[in-house]
Structure 1
Amino acid sequence: MTGSQRPELSRRALIGTGLAVGATALTVAGSGTAWATQRPSTARPTARGRAYAFLAAAMDAYPEHGGVRLAQSYTDQAGLFSTAFTYDNALAVLAHLASRTADGHARAVTLGDALLYAQAHDPVYDDGRLRQAYNVGPYTFYDGSPQPDGFVRADGTVNVGTQFGFTGTAVGDMAWAGIALSTLAGRTGKRRFLTGAVRIGEWIERVGRTDEPLGGYKFGVDGAGEKLPFTSTEHNTDLVGLFGRLARLTGDRIWLERRARAAAFVRKMWEPSQGFFYTGTNDGVTINKSPIPEDTQTWTHLALSSPAHSRSLDWATAELAVLDTADRPNSTVPTGQAYEGVTFSSASLLADEDSPIAPGQPKPDRNGVWFEGTAHLALALRHRHAPGDEARARRLIASIERAQDLLGPGQTVGGRALPARSGVVSASSPLDTGFGFGYYPYRHTGATAWYLLAAARANPLEA
């Protein structure tokens, strides 16, 4: 990314401008204002330790802008500046909790309190929603306009990511934030986290519930607050996890009814002849048959734990498998390196390698590895634990750890150098998702968090 080029928007950014895909007081109690410090150690950091060091660096990149903070999602080189996606930060909460350490617990609480702060201090709405993303540090945008604030503005409101149009609210992003907050509620016993998660669930029920023939919960709202027509398998899978947790923590059976509604939609997306889940619907009537994404195969298993549908993992393992090597067209993998895993969708395997993914972007590598998806496939295989699953999961995790060691050197967050070999890139080479955007070899909070969850065998969608 050089000069005035603007990056391709991520999958979770599109609804801020009305576009969408059919896939898919300044002090907060308990948040603290001091940055956690690490004791000096002469031991060589483990792969997991280096991943946690990246999450800490992404969270601590702007110390001059206060203790109420979220983590920057991508390294500076991605061109998204200090953007902090709600989804990525929800995953960071879950990954920190999976560490079972005092520092991880403290960081999870701080991020959870920041999500609650955003919920309570939106500049426009007071209805329980969170936006797709926020700015967490200063930068100068591509048009030369300054963005001088941190996560919390001088007037106490949160700094919504208007520069890129990250102003909408997706049901899936809300669900993940609710999962993170409800997990914090269960771990800490603090009522504020459960209250925030319930507010999220009630917003989804009000805004997302649909009585269209296929049912379920719709995509969310765009930056103007207009409801979007899509219904996503991925989002409804997320809701199975969220609503199940809310049912257990509140004791209110209404959440079981809502969970069943989301699960019913997901099961309607099942293709029994080939053993996979479709992506969703654009109109509530007709199922989208293509592209077929990876996350609807892995997250469905983690949320439903259904033996009748566990073949989806075999489909993803076989049909979306890729091996990225330096001799591949458009691969950016250095000579002598190779990475195995899965790609984003069936369309990724058919990407036009002669054309850029988007204006100003590189050409795609059909064999680019999507490391976030590779991590949740590894976790799902470990969860299923059929013969051969653990060995396959170990190979995938080894590929991710090798990528953390070798890909994305010299990248920064907030202009600060990262700890050596820390953070997992989102893709081994430029990757076309088939949904109008790409992933690139930039170290990423979301991919790193999913790796840590897979390594810890921590299922975030299990109620």
Structure 2
Amino acid sequence: MTGSRGPGISRRALIGTGVGAGAALLTAGTGTAEAASGPSAPRRALSFLAAAMDAYPDHGTVRLAQSYTDQAGLFSTAFTYDNALVILANLASGTADGGTRATALGDALLYAQAHDPGYDDGRLRQAYNVGPYTFYDGSAQPDGFVRADGTANVGTQFGFTGTAVGDMAWAGIALGALAGRTGERRFLTGAVRIGEWIERNARTDEPLGGYTFGVNGANEKQPFSSTEHNTDLVGLFGRLARLTGGRVWRERRAWAKAFVERMWEPAGGFFYTGSNDGVTINKSPVPEDTQTWTRLALPSPAHARSLDWAAAHLAVLDTADRPNSTVAAGQSYAGVTFSSAGPVANEDAPIASGQPKPDRNGVWFEGTAHLALALRDRRAPGDEARARGLIASVERAQDLLGGGQTLGSVAVAERSGVVSASSPLDTGFGFGYYPYRHTGATAWYLLAVARANPLRA
């Protein structure tokens, strides 16, 4: 997943633990990113994505983008999910450079798929290293994305060796978007391999149906199922159905969609997080992305209230006078937190050893951006005004937060790139987000500005 909803580990769970048809396929709106918000803010966001991609120029031209600035403590880690978003944001930019960069990143994902150090079955790992560093235990990691033996440099130091369905789905969506944009067969082939891996390794016949998490680093299947993951698969399988014309992808999309719809709580107007065993629904905490991504993938009027639930129950306003806030005096940021656990988080203890205490009103900018995009997609009365307000908050964060940070030890240009959170926040799933510039948050901001819906083909 892009974030675990069960007892497993995910991309998110290790952050803050102390260590020609392409535009149509993206469901783009009427303007480019620059036209929607003025030239400076989106352009600066794109420049941050470029800097993250070019952080290690001496270590090969086949490369992925580093996910977080160095200060996050993850060194040169490049998460598969984040890089899929960077591809989609670059395509949505409508620029020649964006198209070139998206193609290069897509080819890097294909390289990882073809040069995995242990498997030749279409999988991608949770994350890769893209530059050299010395790990906390003193061990050296000398390579770029491509190791000296030609294999992809899997992120073993942090244990980012598993293969999660959500990460795979987003990579497949990005490759599918590239196939539609460029007409290049290799991208569609890679996306199909991802879809087939998911079908072989994650489909479940448990009562709730759908698809399970994927496999851990030891290649052991994980039994829990995520609403978010299955929503991602609605997007991936729908895209593959359109690109290939294959009926099998429509059937697989329906299987994932049925799981998502079983997670709907009609009394509250929101989607639950998923299931730990495929039998019982996991009802707490309730995350933001299962409300927004479901709207982007499944624009059902019956479920449109999920956005109102997120906007009402997860709304936060981070100001300097909040306990544990790290924003400067005179600043304020409005948006949403990660889940229903955020507003009631324990502010007296850090989320993980060595980390700062959380701020209950910390804004999760990635989620704030996809809520803005989902509101723009729904287009109910007042939605556009609400979306613009959220985007303005993200742009203010790009201007004022995350100063003095670096990528590959090189200073990041000021006012470029969006931090993942305004202040330390507790997700409720055993990990936190912190004020470090982040390619994923920046990419979602650009998608929101461009009105580019990546989950609906």
TM bracket (short chain): over 0.9
In the aligned structure 2, how far is the partner of 1:349 from the partner of 1:315? 14
Secondary structure in structure 1 of the residue aligned to 2:123: coil
Contact 1:22 1:282 in 2 (8 A): no
1:146-225 to 2 correspondences below 5 Å: 146-225=140-219
1:278 maps to 272
What is the distance in 1 between the residues matched to 2:447 and 2:186? 25
Which contiguous aligned blocks of 4+ residues in structure 1 show a shift greater than 2 angstroms? 10-15, 17-23
Partners of 1:94 and 1:113 in 2: CA distance? 14
Shift of the alpha carbon at 1:391? Answer: 0.1
Structure-2 residue corresponding to 1:82: 76
Query: TM-score, normalized by length of structure 1?
Result: 0.92
- Match runs of 1:29-428 below 5 Å: 46-428=40-422
- Compared CA separation, residues 22 and 118, structure 1 to 2 (3 A): closer
Q: Give secondary structure in 1 for the equivalent of 2:157.
A: helix
In 2: Cα distance, 1:18 partner to 1:266 partner? 20
Contact 1:94–1:460 (Cα < 8 Å) also in 2: yes
Mapped contact 1:21–1:435 kept (Cα < 8 A): no
Q: CA RMSD in A?
A: 1.7
SS in 1 for 2:334: strand
Counterpart contact for 1:219–1:235, Cα < 8 Å: yes
Question: Can you list the C-alpha shifts for 1:410-432, whole angstroms capped at 9, x where unaligned?
Answer: 10000011122100000000000
Deviations 1:283-304 (A, max 9, x none): 1000001000000000000000
Secondary structure in 2 matching 1:67: coil
Could you report, residue by residue, the CA deviation over 1:117-143 in whole angstroms, capped at 9, with x for unpaired residues?
000000000000000000000000000
Moved more, 412-421 or 92-101: 412-421
* Structure 1 residues 14 and 241, CA gap change in structure 2 (3 angstroms): closer
CA distance in 2, matches of 1:107, 1:318: 38
CA–CA distance in structure 2, aligned partners of residues 22 and 82 of structure 1: 16
Which secondary structure does the structure 2 equivalent of 1:231 belong to?
strand
Q: Is the 8 A contact 2:2 2:81 kept in 1?
A: no
Structure-2 separation of matches of 1:149 and 1:13: 29
Counterpart contact for 1:22–1:230, Cα < 8 Å: no
Contact 2:11/2:126, CA 8 A, preserved across alignment: no
CA shift at 1:20, angstroms?
5.8
The aligned length equals: 433
- Secondary structure at the aligned position of 1:340 is classed as strand
The one-letter amino acid paired with 2:334 is E
Give the residue type in structure 2 aligned to 1:210. T
| 8 Å Cα contact 1:169-1:223 kept in structure 2 | yes
The CA deviation string for residues 192-232 of structure 1, in whole angstroms up to 9 with x for no partner, is 00000000000000001000000000001000000011100
Distance (whole Å) between structure 2 residues aligned to residue 87 and residue 153 of structure 1: 21
Q: Which has the higher contact order (CA 8 A, sep 6+)?
A: 2
Contact 2:419–2:437 at 8 Å: present in 1 too?
yes
Provide TM-score, normalisation by structure 2: 0.93
d(CA) in 2 for partners of 1:308, 1:22: 30
